[in-house]
Amino acid sequence: MTKWYAFAGAVLGVVSWATVAIASDQAAADAAAAAPAATQEEAVAADAAAPAADAAVAEEGAVPAADAAVAEEGAAPMEEAAVEPAAPAVEEHAAPAATVNNPAEGWNTLWHHVLIDLYVIGGIFALITIAFMVTYTRKRDDQEGDLPPMNLVLSLTWALIPAFIFMADDFYLAANGWKLWIDQRNVPEGALEIKGLAYMYEWEFEFENGAVLSGNESRENPILLPVGAPIVIRSHSDDVVHSLMFPDFRIKEDVMPGRTTFIWFMDSAPGDHLFTCTEYCGVGHSNMWGRVKTVPATEFEAWIAEKA
């Protein structure tokens, strides 16, 4: 009996260790992939900020650093970035020279790791259960089970080894979650500041130049935002608790009276995105949404100047 326990424990241990190892290996690989990607975002940002010549240098600097796979992944946005002309006017909104990680991309990577983790743990439990279900069916009516007797050592072994494996996995996830959290909660310097206001049942966004844009109207005429630049929305509510969510940017935060909360995000490529309310606020809760469109910085500057 004891042999079987030892064997099963060992298998469980090795498999779980392998899970963590594979997942962290994957994490390392993705981190390696993410680093040049970040450099490349930096290139995009720098591109927007600096004269074209500098951008070209940055771009050249980025490409050799990246390995083949990364170059493939990054190719499309890079070309777009290279195509966009530089605009000195947006300097103030551009990311600083320091690396800015896009939290949405970090979220997607981490989510992928977590899924692997879940599938492996779930798979182990499910397979063992199915094996037991098939193997140990009742053969005779009066048959009783034959679970080996427990003693203190076995009992503690079966408590502590799994506990440490679970704890290792917990800490692995916590560490990675914390890393992403730091990106999500530290607004890069020079981010485009927007003031958000929520009330039943409407969003309002006030830009730095005083332009105020309505969430409901943005369904037909999306609010434009600059691509590649970090954007921070600091919001409060006039009445009840609402919550501002940008599904595509993997971010949300409640908006309430008496406190100001923020979210920040950035988009690496131009596109259409929606935002909506995700905290129950009454009869119009599902009707508090709108659209944004990320466009090259010059286009955004021209558009917002017109709205002021």
Partner 1 sequence: MKEWIFTTDHKRIGIMYLVGSMAAFVVAGIMALLIRLELSSLGPTLTDNATNYNVWLYFHGAAMILAFLIPSLTGFFANYLIPLMIGAPDVAFPRINAFSIWLFYVAIVLALSAFMVPDPPDVMWTGYPPYSVQTTGNTSMYVFTVHLLGFSSILGAVNFLCTVIYMRAPGMGWNQMNFFVWATLAAFVIQLIFIPVLAAAVTLLLFDKYFGTAFFNPDAGGDVLLYQNLFWFYSHPAVYVILIPAVGVVAEVMAGMARNPIFNYKVAVYGGAWAIVVLGSDVWVHHLYTSGMVDWLRIGMMVTTLIISIPVGLLMISLVGTLYRGSIQYNTAMLYAISVLFLFLIGGLTGIPLAMTSITLHLAETYFVMAHFHYVMAVSATFAVFSGVYYWFPKMTGRMANETIGKLGFVLNFVGINLTFWPLFSIGVDGMPRRYFDYAMFPEFEPTQKMATMGAIIIALSMVVVIFNWVYSAIAGVKAPLNPWGSKSMEWTHTQSPPGAGNFPTPPTVSADWSPYNYGKHTAQTI
Among residue numbers 224 through 253, which ones bind partner 1 (CB under 8 A)?
239-241, 243, 245, 247-248, 250-253
CA distance 256 to 237: 5
In the list 14, 79, 89, 185, the residue contacting partner 1 (rule: CB under 8 A) is 185
- Element (H or E) spanning 110, and its range? helix 103-135
Ordered strands of the 242-246 beta sheet: 223-226, 289-295, 271-277, 242-246, 251-255
Q: Hey, how many other C-beta atoms are within 10 angstroms of the C-beta on 17?
A: 13
Tell me the closest approach of the beta carbon of residue 295 to partner 1, in angstroms: 20
Interface with partner 1 (CB under 8 A), residue from 284, 302, 307, 308: 284
Residues numbered 115-134 forming contacts with partner 1, rule: CB under 8 A: 117-118, 121-122, 125-126, 128-129, 132-133
Per-residue interface string for the shown chain with partner 1, residues 14-53, x marking contact by CB under 8 A: ----------------------------------------
The gap between the terminal CA atoms of the chain, to the nearest Å, is 79
Q: Does residue number 261 form part of the binding site for partner 1 (CB under 8 A)?
A: yes
Considering the complex, state which of residue 63 and residue 112 has its C-beta at the smaller distance from partner 1: 112
**Binding of residue 199 to partner 1 (CB under 8 A):** no
Q: Which stretch binds partner 1 (CB under 8 A): 59-67, 148-156, 204-212, 226-234?
A: 148-156
Token pair, residue 279, equals: 């905290």
Determine the interface stretch with partner 1 among 46-54, 87-95, 160-168, 296-304 (rule: CB under 8 A): 160-168
Interacting residues of 140 by C-beta distance below 8 A, sequence separation 6+: none
Question: Is there binding between residue 220 and partner 1 (CB under 8 A)?
Answer: no
- What are the structure tokens assigned to 217, written together? 């109207």
Calculate the CA 246 to chain-centre distance: 11
Side chain identity at residue 158, one-letter code? W
Q: What is the DSSP letter of 211?
A: -
Number of residues that bind partner 1 (CB under 8 A): 80
Instruction: Give the burial string for 122-141 (b: 16+ CB within 10 Å, else e).
Output: eeeeeeeeeeeeeeeeeeee
Q: Is 3 a binder of partner 1 (CB under 8 A)?
A: no
Nearest approach in angstroms of CB 23 to partner 1 is: 12
Is residue 278 a contact point for partner 1 (CB under 8 A)? yes
The residue from 51, 65, 97, 111 that contacts partner 1 (CB under 8 A) is: 111
Which listed residue (99, 209, 221, 286) binds partner 1 by CB under 8 A?
Answer: 286
**Cα–Cα dist 279/262, whole Å:** 15
Residue closer to partner 1, measured from CB, 77 or 106:
106
